[in-house]
Amino acid sequence: MHRKWSTLKGLKANFSTFFNQITEKPLFFECELCLEPDNSRLGICDECAARLPFSGLCCPQCSEPVTTEGRCGACQRKPPDFDYSSCSLMYAHPLTHWIHRCKDRNDTRQIPRFTALMQQAPPLFSLSPDIVTCIPASRRRLLSRGFNLSAELAAPVADYLELPFIPGLLSKTRHTEKRGANAKERSSNPTGLSYGPVSPRGQHILIVDDVMTTGSTLNEAAAILKQQGAITVGAWCLARTPKTR
């Protein structure tokens, strides 16, 4: 019994050590996906990392996958309020599992992995943003989860781009639950977003969020920022949920 408990403690210590080292000099561990030896910052081997669902050819405005370069037909017919978007990966396995583990099981040790993945597939800006902000969380969500993943991603993005991170451009006045809602329900249900105490007037704003599903939240956020005087509003998200055909 003592020996089993010691083994369990050792496994937990090894798991914690991996995540403590994820942003430092890596140690040798097994790849989480194929169990082959690995020493990368991501906790998966190079072969599995190459198979991650990084985004391919996408619409430069809504990040929806396309077959030809340029804006998709939907954005040409009815452009969203945000001027551009970039999503580093598609919302598919194993990213879906990692995000659920982070958000539903409070596994904040996934966040360094997410930021590293975003930095492997950054946007190509035609004009550099002035300010980085994020989609805010409601007070209810912060109390239940303990953190806002969008803000946790936005701060290292700002450091990476060497830009100021100002979360006070937007506020969340009420809680809205969009998980599990279809596209029509998402677009018709207001997000509860409102302008914050800091003015974006005359600035190029980059909004950071975790997952872009229909783009309705980003669209509402961009509209609010432009109403307050922002000149350009773009988005950089960890992942994009492709439309179901």
* Tens digit of each residue's pLDDT (9 = 90 or more) over 10-24: 334 444 444 444 444
pLDDT per position as a tens digit, 98-110: 999 999 999 999 9
pLDDT per position as a tens digit, 129-158: 999 999 999 888 898 899 999 999 999 999
CA-to-CA distance for 91 and 228, rounded, in angstroms? 32
Which pLDDT score is estimated for 88?
98
CA-to-CA distance for 151 and 190, rounded, in angstroms? 21
Which pLDDT score is estimated for 29?
77
Amino acid at 226: K
**Whole-model pTM?**
0.82
Q: Token match 């600035």: residue? A: 203
- Rounded to an integer, the average pLDDT of 69-91 is 97
Which pLDDT score is estimated for 74?
95
DSSP H helical segments within 92-207, as ranges?
95-104, 111-120, 139-145, 149-161, 183-188
**DSSP designation for 52:** S
pLDDT per position as a tens digit, 202-238: 999 999 999 999 999 999 999 999 999 999 999 999 9
Pairing of strands 29-30, 37-38: antiparallel
Over 90: is that where the pLDDT of 81 sits?
A: yes
- Rounded to an integer, the average pLDDT of 169-185 is 66
State the pLDDT confidence band at 94, using cuts at 50, 70 and 90: very high
Locate the DSSP E strands across the chain.
Answer: 29-30, 37-38, 84-90, 131-134, 170-172, 193-195, 204-212, 232-240
**Domain ranges in the chain with CATH number 3.40.50:** 54-240
Nearest C-alpha neighbor of 178 from the set 218, 213, 222 = 213
**DSSP designation for 168:** G
Over 70: is that where the pLDDT of 28 sits?
A: no
> CB-side exposure of 163: number of CA atoms within 13 Å?
21
State the pLDDT confidence band at 125, using cuts at 50, 70 and 90: very high
pLDDT per position as a tens digit, 39-72: 777 889 999 999 999 999 999 999 999 999 999 9
Dihedral angle of Cα 109, 113, 116, 117, to the nearest 10 degrees: -150
Over 60: is that where the pLDDT of 26 sits?
A: no
Which pLDDT score is estimated for 100?
96
Which pLDDT score is estimated for 242?
84
Domain 54-240: which CATH number of 1.20.58, 3.40.50, 2.30.30, 1.25.40: 3.40.50
How far lies 42's CA from each of 22, 113, 116, 163, 212, in Å? 7, 6, 7, 25, 22
CA-to-CA distance for 105 and 8, rounded, in angstroms? 20
CA-to-CA distance for 98 and 218, rounded, in angstroms? 22
Which pLDDT score is estimated for 189?
58
Which pLDDT score is estimated for 11?
39
